[in-house]
Structure formats: C-alpha cells, structure tokens
Amino acid sequence: GCHISQHKQKYFKKQAFLITVQWINNLRVFETGLLRTSHVLNIDTCLHGPDMTGLTPLAVVHLHGGKVPHNSDGYPEDAFPPGDSSGIYFYPNIQPAGTLWYHDHALGITRLNVMMGLAGLYYLRDSNELSLNLPSGEYEIPLVIQDKSFHTDGSIAYNENFEDHFFGDKILVNGKVWPYLNVKKGKYRFRLVNGSNSRAYTLALSNGAQLTQIGSDLGFLETPVMLDSLTLLPGERYDLVVDFSSYATGTQILLTNSAPAPFPGFAGVGVIPNVLKFIVQSAAGYTSPLPSTLAEIETLLPANAVEQRVFELMAMASPPCAGISHPMWSINGLGWDDITEFPVYGTTEIWTWHNQSGISHPMHLHLVSFQILDRQAINEATGQPEGPILPPAASEKGWKDTANSPPGFSTRVIVRFDGFTGLYPYHCHILEHEDHEMMRQYEVVPCQLVTKTINAGPGSLRYAIDCAENGDTIFFDNSIAGDTIILNDPLLLNKNIFIINTNANAVTINGQNTMHLLQITSGSNITMEHFQIISGMGTYGRAIINDGNLILDNISILDSTGGLNGGYTVSNHGLLTLKHNCNIKLSSF
Ligand code: C2O
Ligand code: CU
Ligand code: CU
C-alpha cells in the first residue's frame, strides 16, 4: 500500500462501536517513514481520472455497502494525493447488521490501489445478530479472498499495460497465499468477501460437505440455506457457517475453487483450484445449534416501483490514446459525467442489467440495498428477454448491493433509494471495467426537486408540491430550465412553501389542458419566482386563483388560446404581492 492509507486508518479508528476493521495486507511500507510520490504499479494516463491528474498516486476510501452521506462515500473524484487527506468521514451505521467492506475508489486507478492492498472487511452488528447466538470470537473468521501474482522477489506483479481484466496465479486469503487454518471440532462462522479485481470464485469443500449460508452482501437471509457450492463475483459477500464437529482429528479439508476466468467462460479454463485448507484439531469447539430463523426481510414489491430503467452492459471501442486502443466497457454507451438517473428520495425503482457482452458483470450500486427480482434469457435475434423468468438463487436472497449480471440474460433488481440524497456511483465491480468507463453515477434527488416536465409522479412539480412541508422550497433541476411543464389537472397549493426556479432560464407551466391552473387556498403562503405561466383553458380558465397570500416574483403570465375573458390571468381574492417585472393581468372573478 502507499502511505495514503495511513490517513484512512485514522478514520477507521474513529468509528462507532460494534465495528471490526481488518487490514488484510501488512503495512510495511509505512515503517520506512517515506512518503511515496509515485505509484508502485504503472498508472495509465489514457484512462479517465489519471488523464487529468497524471501519475500522482491518489486514493480515497469507500465503505462498500455502507449507507453513508455523499461526502463520506469516497467519491472517486475526491481522491487525494500523498501528504493530503480528505475530511473526516461519518459512517452513521443506520442499517441492519451485515458484512460490509471498504476499499479504495480513486478515479481510474482503483484497480491498482486495491491490488496493492487497500481493502478490508467492516462488520456491522446489531441486536438481532447478537441474539442469534452465532459462533463468535475465535469462531468467527474473516476470509478476504483475492488473487495476485508475484515477482520472484515477492513484490506484486500486475499487468504492465492496461488490460480489461487481471487474473492472478495465486489465491490469497487475508493477504496470505494458500493459507491453512487449524479448526476445533465445532462450528465456525466465515465472513467472505471477494476482494479480487476480476476473478470470480465457485467455492466448495473438498470432502463434499455442504456449506450453510446465513447471510449475503448486506445481512442475514431469513433462514439458513444449505449449499453444495457457492459463487461469488468481485464485490459480493457471503456469511457462512461450517461445522467441523464430526471429523477425526487431523482431517484436512480444502476450500476449493472451480470458477473459470474470465467468468463464466469455459469449464476448467483459467481456474486456480486451491483457496484454503482446514486442519481439524482435537479440541472441542463451538457446538450450539444454529437458529432456524435469522432475520425478517421486507420484500420490495414490483408494484411499488415508480420507475423502470434498463442498462445495456457493453464493450465499446475506446478512442486511441498514445497510439493504443484500450479495451473499454460501458453502461448504455455513456460515461461518468453523463448523469441520466435521478431517482427521487424514498421511491422504489427496478433496474435491469441487460448483458449480451459474453461475460458476467457484477453490478454494484452505492448507498442502497436491493433485492434481485429475477433473470430472463435474452433472445439473440430480437435482443429482448424472453421465455421463463428465473428467480434468484437461494444464495442470492436477502439484501444485496452487488448482483451477478450473467451474459445472455437480463437481470432485474428492485431498489429503494433512501438514506441520503446526492450523487453516488454505480458500476461493474470488475475493477478493470470500473476503471475504464463501466462506472457511472446517479443522483438521489429530494422529493422537492423537480426534475421532469411530466404532469404527475416522482420528479414532477405536482409530486414536489405534495411532498413539500411548510417552509420547504421547491427547486427545479437545471436540466428542465427553459422547458415546459404541461399540467393536465389543477395544482392545489394549500401550505406555506416557496416555489423557486433558480436557473438562468424560466420554467414554463402550461395549463392549456386544464381549467384553473394554480389554486392557492385561504390561509396558505406561497412565493413563486422566475416562471412563465400559461393560463388554463376554457372561457374562465385562469392561470392562478389566489385565496391566500401570494408573492409573485419575476413571473410572466400568458393567456392560453381558449379564454373568452382572455387577459384576466390571475383571479385574486387574497393578498397579492408582485415583484420584479411581473407581466400579468388581474381580475377579481
Ligand atoms: Cu465496492 Cu463502488 O464499490
Ligand atoms: Cu460500493
Ligand atoms: Cu464488467
């Protein structure tokens, strides 16, 4: 690791109780006391990130699975250089117990920093977990699984030039190559994360015994699930229990891997088979029974989804740089700065990963927890999902933040956007893909932000007014500045709110499809700023009927085509204040 992780270590020491942080690599580099100013591995300045910051080894820490504010999320653009630091991060830990992990997220060099060791586990516990009487203490063991290659002097070897994957020839658990673990005769709880850059693992016990899964990425399953094997892609976590109580002293059992690389690829190709060895000792261990129920999990219902979005996972030609055309991946052909998803705080959406690319992409969203709904094969001729709808595997139930999107399938996840508003990344967790454009960002917007010109529903002006509380301000995203909102029904304004367009261009509110447009009830206080309003239809269609206290600031009102009493655009029975060039006509009826 480069020296930057010293700062990070300080943050983590400030975390609340009930957290275990474990660095998986030793930090020998620090002991020299030297400040590194160049990266150990080759930085490719053709990639987005280092193309602006050059060869400086930046770093920033992300708590994967953590529901944290935007400014503590390890925003990839907020990566900082040696000798510098970020602000103090705040991890509120407002979520159920789960196997979180943290790793570097610097734009365009995440793959290099994680390869050098900037990754570790973060256990979040809660009272439910503590009541389950699971194996703990010496019987609860993290298994951070990564693959690496080494030079003959033991230093880490990584691709010389950018490639769209990295597959090491050794498997490391908690920073050690092919280690063994002495186990007592009893149950162990293993907390697994696939912290590898690109490699997937299909793990099984060499004696054919089953593994008991108790949790997935973000918490417990409802009930334990028995598995012959399990597959985890980069970023995914498993919470497992293995029972060694029935084995003779000295028994050796391997945890083996059979996943091809790339994944799913071809059986046997690229497989590194050994992961870890268990050696059974004579001492008795933890033998209490496992509970039969572990947690209650709310099921997110597709009927409650307000938005469905489809994402095409695809390879793209990258513009040649320094004479080389790097392999590049993308989501919908768009880049990091193309922000097109604005989920509204508190709403539920269905996101579909549509993958015709030939390999699996583990798709991860920051901030949120989701559930995998289903998968459906894509008909190659039509490019559309068709045929049987397959439920997620038993091992994929529960709250997840990373989902395998297999090739030839569309994978649907259902997600509620809550916790915080702001910008958050979503990306493929193959770090070489993430570093070369398979990472975008979405913005959770407050329900009071108008992002769409539609008549109703999340993002609309009507929705914003409904969700606003007294004293709130409704803002307009600048992507709709200059656009027209067409209302099909009157808008009732019966509270005390500010409706403010702060953008350079006015927003037009057009009532040509409705009778009276804005109806301000008696007792309410409304301020509107910087709009053009087109009055309602019909003989007496008004732009505004005011029975309350209304302040209009920089408002221009046009008469719609149908009004016989055209020109009388505000019918005022209350208190009306006009500021800054309001262009309106009044009537009292
Ligand atoms: Cu492991 Cu963007 O995350
Ligand atoms: Cu994450
Ligand atoms: Cu990918």
For ligand 1, whether the C-beta of 117 sits within 6 Å is no
Quick one: pLDDT at residue 561? 56
Q: How does DSSP classify residue 59? A: B
Quick one: which atom of ligand 1 is closest to the CA of 434? 2
423 vs 460: CA distance, rounded Å:
20
Q: How remote is the CA of residue 65 from the centroid of ligand 2, in Å? A: 6
What's the CA-to-centroid distance between 317 and ligand 1, angstroms? 24
| Ligand 1 lined by 62 (C-beta under 6 Å) | yes
Residue nearest atom 1 in ligand 1 by C-alpha distance: 64
Beta-carbon neighbour count of residue 185 at 10 Å? Answer: 20
CA distance 477 to 456: 16
- The pLDDT score that the predictor gives to residue 326 is 81
Q: Which atom of ligand 1 is nearest to the CA of 402?
A: 1
Burial label, 267 (beta-carbon count in 10 A; 0-12, 13-18, 19+) = exposed
Residue 461 backbone phi and psi in degrees, to 5: -65, -40
Please choose, from the candidates 366, 503, 500, the residue with its C-alpha nearest in 3D space to the C-alpha of residue 422.
Answer: 366
Cα(107)–Cα(78) distance, integer angstroms: 8
SS (H, E, C) 354-369: EECCCCCEEEEECCCC
The pLDDT of residue 266: 97
Atom of ligand 1 nearest to the CA of 426: 2
- Asked if pLDDT for residue 110 goes beyond 90, the answer is yes
Look at residue 588 in the predicted model and tell me its pLDDT: 61
Determine if ligand 1 sits within 6 Å of the CB of residue 111.
no
pLDDT (average), residues 540-545: 82
Q: Which residues pair with 25 in a beta bridge?
A: none
Please give the pLDDT value at position 208.
97
pLDDT, tens digit, 9 for 90 and up, residues 5-37:
333 322 222 222 223 333 333 333 344 556 778
Ligand 2 is an ion; its neighbours by CB within 5 Å are: 64, 366
- CB contact at 8 A, 553 and 582: yes
pLDDT in tens, 302-326: 999 999 999 999 999 888 888 888 8
Answer yes or no: is pLDDT of 568 > 80: no
User: Kind of pairing, strands 19-23 and 61-64?
Assistant: unpaired
Convert the pLDDT of each residue in 321-377 to its tens digit.
888 888 899 999 999 999 999 999 999 999 999 999 999 999 999 999 999 999 999
Ligand 1 near 215 CB (within 6 A): no
Percentage of the chain modeled with pLDDT above 90: 82
Give the HSE-up count for residue 533: Cα atoms under 13 Å, Cβ half-sphere.
33
Q: Which ligand is nearest to the CA of 329?
A: 3
Task: Return mean pLDDT, the chain.
Answer: 91
**Would the pLDDT of 428 be above 80?**
yes
> In the predicted model, is pLDDT for residue 58 greater than 90?
yes
At residue 79, the pLDDT reads: 95
Q: For ligand 1, is residue 105 a contact (CB within 6 Å)?
A: yes
Answer whether 499's CB lies under 8 Å from 474's CB: yes
**In the predicted structure, residue 581 carries a pLDDT above the cut 90:** no
- Ligand nearest the Cα of residue 193 is 1
Cβ atoms 62, 102 nearer than 8 A: yes
For 443-480, what is the HEC assignment? EEECCCEECCCCCCCCCCHHHHHHHCCCCCEEEECHHH
Q: Is the CB of 237 under 6 A from ligand 1?
A: no
Contact criterion met (CB below 8 Å) for 243 and 195: no
Instruction: Verify whether ligand 1 is closer than 6 Å to residue 39 (CB atom).
Output: no
Q: Is 440 in the pocket of ligand 1 (CB under 6 A)?
A: no
Is the distance from CB of 58 to CB of 5 less than 8 angstroms?
Answer: no
Q: How far is the CA of 480 from the centre of ligand 3 (A)?
A: 32
CA distances from 489 to 423, 486, 519 (A): 32, 9, 11
CA 496 and chain centroid, separation: 35
Does the Cβ of 412 fall within 6 Å of ligand 1? no
Place of tokens 């997937």: 200
- The amino acid sitting at 25 is N
Phi and psi for 118 in degrees, rounded to 5? -85, 75
For the chain, how far is it from start to end, CA to CA, in angstroms? 74
pLDDT tens-digit series, residues 180-197: 999 999 999 999 999 999
pTM above 0.85? yes
Q: What is the mean pLDDT of residues 77-91?
A: 92
Nearest CA to ligand 1 atom 3: 64
The pLDDT tens digits of the residues spanning 385-397 come to 999 999 999 999 9
Ligand 1 pocket, residue 195 CB under 6 Å? no
Cis geometry, peptide bond prior to residue 407 (ω within 30 degrees of 0):
no
Measured at the alpha carbon of residue 134, what is the angle toward residues 209 and 366, in degrees to the nearest 5?
90
Model confidence at 541: pLDDT above 90:
no
pLDDT, tens digit, 9 for 90 and up, residues 236-290? 999 999 999 999 999 999 999 999 999 999 999 999 999 999 999 999 999 999 9
How many Å apart are CA 435 and CA 107, to the nearest integer? 7
Q: What is the mean pLDDT of residues 88-97?
A: 95
